[in-house]
Amino acid sequence: METPHTHDLDAVATTAGNGAKPEDPGAQACRDEVDRLIEAWHRERPDLDVAPLEVLSRVSRLARHLDRARRTAFAEHDLEPWEFDVLSALRRAGAPYQLTPSKLLTQTLVTSGTMTNRIDRLAAKDLVKRLPDPGDRRGVLVQLSDTGRKRVDGAFEGLLAQERDLLGSISMADREALAGLLRTLVLPFDN
């Protein structure tokens, strides 16, 4: 999806990118898809400042690539991304690895119907178990099984290895700067 951003005041559209400028300080030599996207919009709508796309389109596109990469990484542990989402929430909760469906759906941002379905399928694979919630007969507790814990731990280690690899081209200092700026952008949403 395209998240365009540019401001146009004239020729600003190419400011941050290494777009058409021939000088290119000492930076990477290559244009990415977003550079092309922005160039196309700038050609078609020279009246608009599409600078915001420089940041936000890249966030969206990178996230999509990360989704695919994670799917591959998890596949080596026979887990789908949605399975990791649920199991990792339980894992992070700590022993005895129990959460209510309600807690799980707020953490995974899916609807209750979806979560019921997911728990059913995870239970069928013996990765979680459904227990009655003592103290609230409406509710249930979803508990990570022993095999579930091992699978999610392995998948998480694989994920970290992959992510470390993806970040390899960026210095420690830049990673921290990046993390800080991203936090600033996320905060208004996270409350």
Q: Which residues inside 121-150 make contact with its own copies, applying CB under 8 A?
A: none
Determine, following the binding rule CB under 8 A, whether residue 62 of this chain makes contact with its own copies: yes
Determine, following the binding rule CB under 8 A, whether residue 110 of this chain makes contact with its own copies: yes
Q: What are phi and psi of 48, to 5 degrees?
A: -105, 150
- Closer to its own copies by Cβ: residue 134 or 190: 190
Q: Shortest gap between Cβ of 168 and its own copies (angstroms)?
A: 10
Q: Which of DNA, its own copies, none binds 148 (CB below 5-8 Å, type-dependent)?
A: none
Q: Which of DNA, its own copies, none binds 21 (CB below 5-8 Å, type-dependent)?
A: none
- Closer to its own copies by Cβ: residue 137 or 189: 189
- Closer to DNA by Cβ: residue 52 or 132: 132
Q: Shortest gap between Cβ of 130 and DNA (angstroms)?
A: 6
- Closer to its own copies by Cβ: residue 131 or 178: 178
The arrangement of strands across the sheet holding 128-132 comes to 98-99, 140-144, 128-132
- Closer to DNA by Cβ: residue 137 or 164: 137
Which residues are at the interface with DNA (CB under 7 A)?
1-2, 4, 6, 82, 100-102, 109-119, 121, 130, 133, 136-141
Contact by Cβ (8 Å): 6, 42: yes
Angle at 86 between CA 85 and CA 92, to 5 degrees: 85
Contact by Cβ (8 Å): 129, 123: yes
Determine, following the binding rule CB under 8 A, whether residue 5 of this chain makes contact with its own copies: yes
Q: Shortest gap between Cβ of 75 and its own copies (angstroms)?
A: 14
* HEC string for 21-88: CCCCCCCCCCCCHHHHHHHHHHHHCCCCCECHHHHHHHHHHHHHHHHHHHHHHHHCCCCCHHHHHHHH
The token pair that represents 35 in the structure block: 């550079």
The closest of 131, 150, 164, 133 to 91, measured between CA atoms, is 150
In total, the chain counts a number of residues equal to: 191
